[in-house]
Amino acid sequence: MVIQLIVNGLAMGFIYALAALGVVMLYNALGIVNFAQGEFATLGAFIAYSLIAEMGVPYPLGFVVTVMIVAAAGVLFERIVYRPLRHKHFLTVIVSTIGVMIFFREFERIVWKPIPRFFPDIFEGRLITIGNVVIVPQHVFIIGVALVLMVSLYLFLNKTSVGAKMRATAQDQETASLMGVDVEKMIVLTFVISACLGAIAGVLFAPIFFITIDMGGTVGLTAFCASIIGGFGSIPGAICGALLLGLVEVFGAAYVSSVYKPAVAFMLMIAFLMFRPRGIFGEKVSVKV
């Protein structure tokens, strides 16, 4: 029982971690928090549903095509929403993001109708049994894919020249641009990666629950909470925060009550903000006069 819960909790945690990585990368690069981040996950889940369950596209191909389509949505988001607002007031950006959220949700309502969709289990209901421990293969699959992605992302950012340019842009756009980095391109790339991470989280999450219009919103908000708990801006922090939240949600639902599950992330986050505002890994922020 406990091992099952741990695997389940870690699987949830890795989904949150993928979304949280998208959030933190955008924040580090541009200093903005994209509250519509979770919508990329919903969109990914719906598109994957249409491709794989309705049109019969093979799972791996459907997965890749979905991520590509959502990446395109990420580019559009950068062009239409982020760019015109780049130097506007923070509140204006927030309200604009609400507009994006409404649009995404309504678009999905029009295309997929407000009916919860059930994504087919690619493992066809098989279970992994080791001794008396029963594990859902989708959970193992999620953990595997997420780990591979994280390692690749790490290698990409730290071992490739494009990754170095992206990091330079995140550090200081002006200096990066003086060093000959095409800052605009790097910003678009950041949005693309962040959208892809959201889409992947959505597709991985889809078989666990119904796909609904609110699905991504919940994943996105939990991802924010995770990054705050981890220490905002810290990538290892976001991952740890996300895993912690996944485990607490699953164990809380099993041993305490599932009624307040949607609030667990928020309560934990508020507790951290009150008692350890720098999070698990973050540094204390101070304002210079």
Partner 1 sequence: MGRRTRCAVAVGVVTLLAVFPLVGVGPYYIRLLNLAGIYVILTLGLNFCVGMAGQISYAQASFFGIGAYASALLTLKTGVSFWAALPLSALVALVFGVLLGLPSLKVGRYYLAIVTIGFSEIVRLVLLNWKEVTYGAEGVKNIPVPTIGTFTLNTDLRYYYLVLTIVLFAVFVSIRIVHSRIGRALHAIRMSDLAAEVMGVNTRYYKILAFALSAFFGGLAGSLIAHYDTYLHANSFNFMESAKILCMLFIGGSGSIEGPIIGAVGLTLLPEWLRFLKDYYMAIYGVGVVLLMGVMPSGIRSLIPQLARFVQRLFTNKQRAVRSEH
Ligand X SMILES: Nc1ncnc2c1ncn2[C@@H]1O[C@H](COP(=O)(O)OP(=O)(O)O)[C@@H](O)[C@H]1O
| Rounded distance between C-alpha atoms, residue 233 and residue 235, angstroms | 6
Among 22, 74, 217, 230, binds partner 1 (CB under 8 A): 217
What is the closest distance, in whole angstroms, from the C-beta atom of residue 287 to ligand X in the complex?
Answer: 7
Does residue 113 bind ligand X (CB under 6 A)? no
Among 64, 72, 106, 172, binds partner 1 (CB under 8 A): 106
What is the closest distance, in whole angstroms, from the C-beta atom of residue 97 to partner 1 in the complex?
Answer: 9
CA dihedral sign of residues 194, 67, 95, 81 = positive
Does residue 126 bind partner 1 (CB under 8 A)? no
Amino acid letter at 118?
A: F
Residue appearing with tokens 């959220």: 101
Instruction: For residue 6, give every residue at least 6 positions away whose Cβ sits within 8 Å of its Cβ, in sequence order, or none.
Output: 247
Does residue 284 bind ligand X (CB under 6 A)? no
Nearer to ligand X, 1 or 285 (CB): 285
* Number of shown-chain residues binding partner 1 (CB under 8 A): 47
Across the strands, what pairs with 184? none
| Rounded distance between C-alpha atoms, residue 95 and residue 55, angstroms | 36
Backbone angles phi, psi at 133, to 5 degrees: -95, 125
Does residue 286 bind ligand X (CB under 6 A)? yes
Does residue 288 bind ligand X (CB under 6 A)? yes
Nearer to partner 1, 98 or 151 (CB): 98
Task: Assign 211 to helix, strand or coil.
Answer: strand
Nearer to partner 1, 18 or 225 (CB): 225
Residues numbered 12 to 51 that lie near partner 1 (CB under 8 A) are 33, 35
Residues numbered 225 to 254 that lie near partner 1 (CB under 8 A) are 225, 228, 232
Among 104, 112, 205, 281, binds partner 1 (CB under 8 A): 104
CA geometry: angle 284, 285, 286, nearest 5 deg: 120
| Rounded distance between C-alpha atoms, residue 232 and residue 99, angstroms | 25
Which of ligand X, partner 1, none sits in contact with 91, Cβ below 5 to 8 A by type? partner 1
| Rounded distance between C-alpha atoms, residue 130 and residue 241, angstroms | 29
Longest dimension (CA), the chain: 62
Among 3, 209, 260, 283, binds partner 1 (CB under 8 A): 260
* Number of shown-chain residues binding ligand X (CB under 6 A): 2
| Rounded distance between C-alpha atoms, residue 222 and residue 231, angstroms | 14
What is the closest distance, in whole angstroms, from the C-beta atom of residue 245 to partner 1 in the complex?
Answer: 13
Among 61, 68, 88, 151, binds partner 1 (CB under 8 A): 88
The two tokens of residue 50 are 């249409």
Does residue 107 bind partner 1 (CB under 8 A)? yes
Instruction: For residue 229, give every residue at least 6 positions away whose Cβ sits within 8 Å of its Cβ, in sequence order, or none.
Output: 237, 241, 244, 245, 268, 269, 272, 279, 280
Binding site for partner 1 (CB under 8 A): 33, 35, 80-81, 84-85, 88-96, 98-107, 109-110, 217, 221, 224-225, 228, 232, 259-260, 262-263, 265-267, 269-270, 273-274, 277, 287, 289
The footprint of ligand X (CB under 6 A) covers 286, 288
